[in-house]
Amino acid sequence: MFIKNTWYVACTEAELDGLGAQPLGRTICNEKMVFFKGPDGRAVAVEDFCPHRGAPLSLGKVCEGKLVCGYHGLEMGCEGKVVHMPGQRVRGFPANKAYAVAQRYGFVWVWPGDQAQADVAKLPTFEFFDNPDWAYSGGLYHVQADYRLMIDNLMDLTHETYVHASSIGQPEIDETPCKTTLENGQVVLQRHMSGIQAPPFWQMAMSANGLDPQAKVDRWQICRFTPPSHIMIDVGVALAGHGGFHAPPEVKAYSVVVDFITPETETSHWYHWGMARQFKPQDEALTARIREGQGKIFSEDMQMLQLQQANILRWPDRPLLMLNIDSGGVQSRRIIEQLLAQEQTTGVPA
């Protein structure tokens, strides 16, 4: 069910740093892992299992870059090898699985699959992180739903009209057809709306960028799914008649919705969400305001997805019906299935 020979966002660097001497336990792709900082200050991850009595190592502490079990004091190094236990001979214990870990853009990434295939060159790159022309802020939700339901949700934004009616939803989303294409392994869904009134969230953004919030705009939504489960959504508005997505910066408010979706189990996932903004990047108050608004929007999604998952579990034999608005999610799931089949056959994604 999970593509494992790939990189997933495990946590943020701030989340790990904020724990101090405490390690971070996290389940990713049904594998229990524990993250901590090694003696050189870099993030590492090993199986969350003490080889002595099976206690979760995440309940222990970090001391001088070693992971100390909270049950009997067994100490484990960064590579999963037991290095010490008070009064005992333990160096012959078999090593735990150690996971390849990388740090980029303020996130800690992990490779759950075959560690011999882990390659930092395969980490995704983005123009808006570590870039002074952009501002970024986001958060984390632990969602009790199949990660593919979140992909469906983000690759079909017609739900905004109903789930997010008070912020980003408007009838024109339903009324405007979308186009879905496959581009270099990405599923790209586009919707372009012309000569409309901006919804409340975008009226706020227009005001913040010095634009008349009541002016007619051209609005765009360009959803880009990249396997295993990352979705970047180009969103924004521009004063009508200036080229929409391609309009010059002074007449538009433009952002990228950042969605890192990390499977936990078959019915749960970690959702790192955020927004990268290309207007007024130095305005910290605006960044905080957008983060608050976006967090509320995504909490509405989370509620819907968790209830959807509960219904699916209640009626497991009832098929879900597909419409033309589902094309982005259908194509994304098709790619996931193809990569899963390839990985199961050869151990290497296509």
Q: pLDDT tens across 159-217, in order? A: 888 888 788 888 888 899 999 999 988 999 999 999 999 999 999 999 999 999 999 99
Cα torsion 202, 205, 209, 215 to 10°: value is 30
- Domain contains 128: no
Does the pTM exceed 0.85?
yes
Encoding tokens for residue 196?
Answer: 């409309």
- CATH number at 331 reads 3.90.380.10
Residue 348: predicted pLDDT: 58
Instruction: Give whole-number Cα distances, 104 to 53, 120, 126, 133, 152, in Å.
Output: 35, 10, 10, 18, 27
Backbone angles phi, psi at 335, to 5 degrees: -65, -40
What are the strands of the beta sheet with 230-239, ordered from one edge? 135-143, 268-277, 252-265, 230-239, 216-226, 186-197, 179-183
Together in a domain, 173 and 243? yes
Domain span holding position 299: 135-346
Whether residues 118 and 162 share a domain: the answer is no
User: Same structural domain for residues 212 and 290?
Assistant: yes
Do both 144 and 116 map to the same domain?
no
Task: Tell whether 77 and 154 lie within a shared domain.
Answer: no
* Residue 270 within a domain: yes
Residue 127 domain flag? no
- 49 and 154 part of one domain: no
The closest alpha carbon to 84, from 69, 104, 99, belongs to: 69
Q: Check residue 320 and give its pLDDT.
A: 87
CA distance 278 to 284: 13
* Average confidence score pLDDT of the chain: 93
CB 84 within 8 A of CB 72: no
Q: Compute CA 159 distance to the chain's CA centroid, rounded to the nearest angstrom.
A: 19
What is the pLDDT, as a whole number, of residue 29? 98
| Whether residue 167 is found in the same domain as residue 253 | yes
Domain boundary among 59, 87, 122: 122
Q: Are residues 270 and 320 in the same domain?
A: yes
Map residue 194 onto helix, strand or coil.
Answer: strand
**2 part of a folded domain:** no
- pLDDT at position 172: 85
Task: Kindly state whether residue 333 falls inside one of the protein's structural domains.
Answer: yes
Please report, in angstroms and rounded to a whole number, the separation of the first and last CA atoms in the chain.
16
Residues 230 and 324 in one domain: yes
Last residue of a domain, one of 61, 90, 122: 122
Q: What sections of 250-326 are H helices per DSSP?
A: 284-314
CATH of the domain at 24: 2.102.10.10
The pLDDT of residue 350 is 46
Coil, strand or helix at 203: helix
* 130 domain residue, yes or no: no
Which residue pairs, CB below 8 angstroms and at least 24 apart, start in 169-172?
169/199, 170/196, 170/197, 170/199, 172/196, 172/219
Identify the CA nearest to 301 among candidates 197, 198, 205, 163. 163
Q: 349 preceded by cis ω (within 30°)?
A: no
The answer to whether position 129 is within a domain reads: no
| Domain match, 151 and 111 both | no
Residues 149 and 290 in one domain: yes
Q: Which of 69, 93, 122 is the last residue of a domain?
A: 122
Structurally, the chain folds into a number of domains equal to 2
Q: What is the pLDDT of residue 252?
A: 95
Q: What is the pLDDT, as a whole number, of residue 349?
A: 54
> Residue 137: phi, psi to the nearest 5?
-155, 150
Domain annotation covers residue 1: no
Identify whether residues 117 and 187 lie together within a single domain: no
- Per-residue pLDDT tens, the chain, 350 aa: give them: 899 999 999 999 999 999 989 999 999 999 999 999 999 999 999 999 999 889 999 999 999 999 999 989 999 989 999 888 777 777 778 889 999 999 999 999 999 999 999 999 999 999 999 999 999 999 999 999 999 999 999 999 888 888 887 888 888 888 999 999 999 889 999 999 999 999 999 999 999 999 999 999 999 999 999 999 999 999 999 999 999 999 999 999 999 999 999 999 999 999 999 999 988 999 999 999 999 999 999 999 999 999 999 999 999 999 988 888 889 999 999 999 999 999 988 765 54
Can you give the C-alpha Rg of the chain in angstroms? 22
